[in-house]
Structure 1
Amino acid sequence: MAGQPPQHEHFDVVIVGGGHNGLVAAAYLAQAGRSVLILERQDHLGGAAVSKEVFPGTGAKLSRYSYLVSLFPQQIISDLGLDLQLIRRRYSSYTPLPDTDRGLLVDNQDGQATRESFESVGTVADFTAFNDFHRRTGQLARTLWPTVTQPLRRRSEIRQFVADSQLWSDVFERPIGEVLERTFSSDLVRGTVLTDALISTFAGAHDANLQQNKCFLYHVIGGGTGDWDVPRGGMGAVSGALEQAARAAGARFRTLCEVTSVSPEAVVMYDGGGQTGVVVSANFVLANVAPAVLHRLLGDEPDNSLPAPEGAQAKVNLLLARLPKLLDPQLAPEAAFGGTFHINELYSQLEAAHAAAAAGNVPDPLPAEIYCHTLSDPSILPEQLRATGAHTLTVFTLQTPHRLLTAGNNSRMRQQLQDAVLASLNSVLAEPIEDCLLRDADGRLCIETKTTIDLEATLNMPGGNIFHGPLSWPFSEDDDPLDTPARRWGVGTDHSRILLCGAGTRRGGGVSGLGGHNAAMAVLDQG
C-alpha cells in the first residue's frame, strides 16, 4: 500500500487519517461513486480500533486500545453491508464492596438475582431506585439515539422530545452528582452509576461545566439501550470490516504517509518511500484527526482560549492462565468478569481520586474498570490456548489525567500506574493477579500498559484524549448557525471544503463511526 504516489493527483475526497471514522466516511463516499483517497501515517489502518498480538508467541489478538462498542449504529452496519457481529453481554457490572467479601452484581437477565445482590451489600432500598433510574435513561436513549445519524436538532427541539422536565434538568442542566445523591443512598450504588460519567473524562461529580454529564449521556444512549457490546474477533474486526467495504467500493489507501499541511487547495505529505512534498488535491478534505491537529496542519496560530485536550486514563492489557479467585466464594469469576468489573469505584472513592489527581498525585486506591473480552468472544485466542482456560483482561483507569505525565516522566509513570492498577485489583481479589499471568515466548509476564503519552505518540491523539477534545452535546444550541450541510451535520470548520470526520465532531467520540458517517452525509448533501 505504501510507495511513491504520483504528484498532483486529484480526488473528490481526501481523508487524512485511516482510523475507523475515516474508513466509515470512505466506504459511504466510495459507494456513492466518489473517488476517495485515505492517507494514514502508520503502516496499518484502523487507528485505535485494532487487534494485535501484544504478547509474542501467544497468538492472542487483543483489542490494543479501544475495547467495547456501544455507539456504533446498526444503520452503519446495514448501510455498508459490514460483516460484523456484536455480542451482547449478560452481565452489566460487578462492584466489590471494599474490605468485605461481597459485591453488587447486576444481571441483565435475572432481576431477582440482582435484587438479592442489592440485599447482600445492604442496599436493597436502592434496588427500585436503580431500576427506575435506568428506565428513565432508557427513555432518554430511545429518544436521542435516532437523531445521531440525522442532521443536528436544536436544543429546544430536543428539549421537547425528552418531555420529562425533571430528566432534562438532571442530565442537561444540573451536575450529575446532584441526581445521584438525591436518588441513591448507597455509596456503592452512586459510584457504580457515576463511572459512566468519567471514562477518559477528568471531572468531579459536581463540576459546573457538565463534562461529566456529557460523558454520562454518551455512555447510556448507545444503540437506544446503552448496552456495551463485544465485537466478535476483537476491535480489529470492526476496522477490518470497514476497510473491506471501502476497498470493495473503490476507495484507495496510502499508509506510511505523514501529512504535513492541509489547505482547501491541497494536502501535502511525505511517504514511506522517502518522497517529500507530495501533493494531492481534492474537492473536499475530511480531517479524521483531532481538531487541535487540524489546527496545526492548517498553519493557524494556537488558540490558547480553548481548553487543551486531556485524556484521563491508562489502559492495561493482561493475558491470564485463568481467571483469578474472588473474595466472594459464592460468586463465579465468570459472572463477576462477565460485565464491567468496577475496582475501588465507590462514589466517595471516585471523588477522593479526583481530588488527589487534581493535587498532582496518582490516586490511592486507583479506581479502574475491567473487561474480559474472552468470556464473550473466545475466538480472539488460538484454539490451543483457549483450551487451557486462558483469558484476556483489559483494565481502564479513571481519574488519571494527562497532566500527571510528561515526556520526561512517562516511563516512570507508566510503571507507577501499572503497579497502582495491580494493587487496586489485588485489594478486591482472593489471590494476587500476578499469580494468574501467563508469560510470552520470551519469558516476560503478559502485561502491557499504555498511558496518555503513549496514545499521543502512537495515535496522534493530543493529550491522549480518546474523544479528541471536550465532549459536546449531541445537538446544536438554538442560536448556532446551521446554514451549510457541514454545520447541519456537526462537522464544519472555518473552511467550507475542509470537514472534521473524527471523534472531535459534534457527535464524535468512542468507536461510533458517527464522525465518519456525518462527514460523508455533509459531502453528499453538497452534491
Structure 2
Amino acid sequence: MTASETRRYDVVIVGGGHNALVSAAYLARAGRSVAVIERSDAVGGAAVSERPWRGVDARLSRYSYLVSLLPQKIIDDLGLRITLKRRRYSSYTPDPADPARGILIDTQDAEATAASFTRTLGEAGAAEAERFAAFGERIAPLGRAVFPTMTEPLPTADEIRAAVGDDELWDALTTRPLGDLLRRSFESDLVRGIVLTDGLIGTFASSDDPSLAQNRCFLYHVIGGGTGDWDVPVGGMGAVTKELERVALEAGADIYVGVEVMSISPDGDVHTMTDRSEVFHGDLILSGVGRAVLDSLLSAGGSATTGAETPEGAQVKVNMLLSRLPRLRDESVTPEAAFSGTFHVNETMTQVDAAYVAASGGLIPEPLPVEIYCHSLTDPSILGDHLVADGAQTLTMFGLQVPHRLIAGMDPVAAGAKLLAAAQASLESVIAEPLRDCIFRAPDGRLCIEARTTGDLEESLNMVGGDIFHGALSWPWLSAPATTPAERWGVATSHPRVLLCGSSAQRGGAVSGIGGQNAAMAALEILEG
C-alpha cells in the first residue's frame, strides 16, 4: 500500500483497551467493517496480566484488579468464556487504635460478622452491626434499579428515582455529600470509613466534598451486577482481555497494534504512524482513549476539541508476591480470611479526610489509607504450580488520597519509592512482622514488589494525569433531553461522527465493557439510520 492510499472501514476505533474490543466485537458481529488501532504492542490497556519479575511464574493484573461492573448481558451477547469468582469475605478492617482487634465481614455468616463488630467496638458493636446490615439493605435498591439500565439508552433521573423508591436516600446520595449520609447512618468512625472508601478509589475527595465526586464513585461501586459484589476474574485481567480479543477477531474485526495515532479529523480520517504514515477512514470514529487525549488528536487534525478538563488520578497501586501471608496482630482472625476480602488499613473516616487535607497541602498522607487484595487466595491459577505448593500469594495494595500533583515532575523511580514506602509503612502498622520478611525474592535476588503510580499510568497507558476513569465520573442518567443516538447512549462528543467508547463515556469507568457496548449500540443506530 502506498502512502497515499487509505484503509476504509465503517468504524475506526482509536485505542485498544477492553472497551474498544467490546465495541469492535459488537459491531463486527453486526456485519460492520471495524478497525481497532492500538499504539502498544498488545491490546487490553489497563486490563492486562503481566509477569513483572523475571524468572517468577506469577501473572499479575498489574493495573486493574477486580470485576464488578461487567454485565452478564455483555458476557452472554459476545459468548465470552470467562469465569468470575465471588469472595466469601467482604472485608477485614483492623482498628488503627488497637490493631489486635478488627471487623471481619463474612458474607456467609451474619452471626460471626456481628460478633466481630462486638469484639472490635465493645458494647456498641451489636447495634453498629445492625446499622451496617440495615444500611446494606437500604442501598440494595440502587443496584437493582440502576445496573440493568447501564446497557440501555440513558434513563431520566426521575425514572431512576422512582425505581429506587426511597426519596430520602436518593436526595442524600445525589444532592448532599456522602459524609452526611454516613454520619447519620453509623456511630463508629471505623465503620463510616469502611463504607466511605467505596467512594474514593481513584477519586480525590473528602467525605464532605461539595462536588459530590465521592458520591458518584460510591454509586458505581455499589451497583455492580445489581448487588455491588466485586469478583475475581479467573486467570487474571489478562484472561478477560484475551477473550474479548478472541471474539472481536472471530467476528471479523481488524486489530492493528504498534500503530500510533497522530491526528483525528471529524470527517473520519485517522492519521497514523509506524514506519510510515497511513490513513484509516471510518464513517464513524470511536474513541477508546481519554477525552484529554482525544482533544489533542483532534487539535492535531486542525479541529475544535471537545473541551475536556485536565484529569487527575489519585491512587498508587503496589503489586507484590509473598512467600507467605504476614501474621496479624489480631490473633482472632486468620491471615487467609483477612486478606481474602478487602483489607482496609488506616481508613477510618477521620483518617481518610485527614489524608485528603494533607495531600491538598502537597504532602503524602501519613498514615496513607490503603486497601489490600489477595487474588491468589480466590484464584491460585495465576501462580505457577510450584509457587502454589510453597504457599506463595500475590498481594495488591491500593493507596488512596495521592493525587497526581504530588508526584508530577518528580523522577518516576523516586516517586514510586516514596509512595511504596508510605504504603508499606501503613500496612506494617497493623501486621505482626515486617512485610519485607514475607516478600518473595526473584532468582536474581530482587524483592518481588513494585509501585505503579499515576505517573506510570500516564507514561505506559497514555492516561493523562494517571486518571483511571479518564476524567470525572458522571451520574448514569440523563441530565438534559437527548436528541441523538449518541446522546441517548451517553457517548456523544461535539462532533457527530466521533463517539466515546471508553472510560470517558458517560457510563464508563472500571473494567465493565459498558462504554464499549453503548458506543456500539449508538453507532449501529447512526449507521443504520
Instruction: Provide TM-score, normalisation by structure 1.
Output: 0.97
Match for residue 275 of structure 1?
Answer: 276
Identify which of 49, 58, 75 aligns with 1:77. 75
Q: Indicate whether 1:97 and 2:99 are aligned.
A: no
Q: Could you list the runs of 4 or more consecutive aligned residues of structure 1 that deviate by over 4 angstroms after TM superposition?
A: 3-6, 300-304
2:51 equivalent to 1:48 = no
Q: Residue 36 of structure 2 corresponds to which residue in structure 1?
A: 38
| CA distance in structure 2 between the aligned counterparts of 1:235 and 1:346, rounded to whole angstroms | 30
Residues 503 and 510 in structure 1, CA contact (< 8 A), matched pair in contact too: yes
TM-superposed deviation, 1:193: 0.4
Displacement of 1:302 in angstroms is 6.9
- Paired residue type of 1:512: S
8 A contact 2:235–2:381 mirrored in 1: yes
Are the aligned partners of 1:467 and 1:510 in contact in 2 as well (CA < 8 Å)? yes
Distance 2:503 2:455 in 1: 18
- The equivalences for 1:24-423 within 5 A come to 24-100=22-98, 101-122=100-121, 123-263=125-265, 264-271=267-274, 274-276=275-277, 278-299=278-299, 307-423=309-425
State the 1:407 CA deviation. Answer: 3.1
SS at match of 2:174: helix
Q: Which residue of 1 aligns with 2:21?
A: 23
CA contact 2:291–2:306 (8 Å) conserved in 1: no
Structure 1 unmatched ranges of 5 or more: none
CA change 1:5–1:246 in 2 (3 A) is farther
- Aligned pair in 2 of structure 1 residues 80, 6: CA closer, same or farther (>3 Å)? farther
* C-alpha spacing 1:93/1:233, structure 2 compared with 1 (3 Å): same
Residue pair 1:407, 1:453 contacting (<8 A) in 2 also: no
Q: Which residue of 2 aligns with 1:502?
A: 502
Q: Deviations over 1:423-461 (max 9, x none)?
A: 000000001111000111221000011110110111111
What does residue 465 of structure 1 align with? 467
Relative distance call for 1:126 and 1:44 in structure 2 (3 A) is same
For residue 248 of structure 2, give the secondary structure of its aligned residue in structure 1: helix
User: Partner letter of residue 110 of structure 1?
Assistant: D
Asked whether the 8 Å contact 2:455–2:465 carries over to 1, the reply is yes
Distance 1:113 1:185 in 2: 20
Cα RMSD over matched residues?
A: 1.4
- CA drift of 1:497 comes to 1.1
Distance 2:304 2:310 in 1: 14
- What letter matches 1:270 in structure 2? M
Q: In structure 1, what is the equivalent of residue 429 of structure 2? A: 427
Q: Classify the secondary structure of the residue corresponding to 1:79.
A: helix
Shift of the alpha carbon at 1:107? 0.5
Deviation of residue 410 (structure 1)? 3.1
**1:376 positional shift:** 0.3
Q: Among the aligned pairs, what percent are the same residue?
A: 55
- Distance change in 2, residues 1:6/1:126 (3 Å): farther
Distance 1:116 1:162 in 2: 31
Shift of 1:5: 9.3
Q: Distance in 2 between matches of 1:30 and 1:109?
A: 42
| 8 A contact 1:23–1:243 mirrored in 2 | yes
How far off its partner does 1:411 sit? 2.5
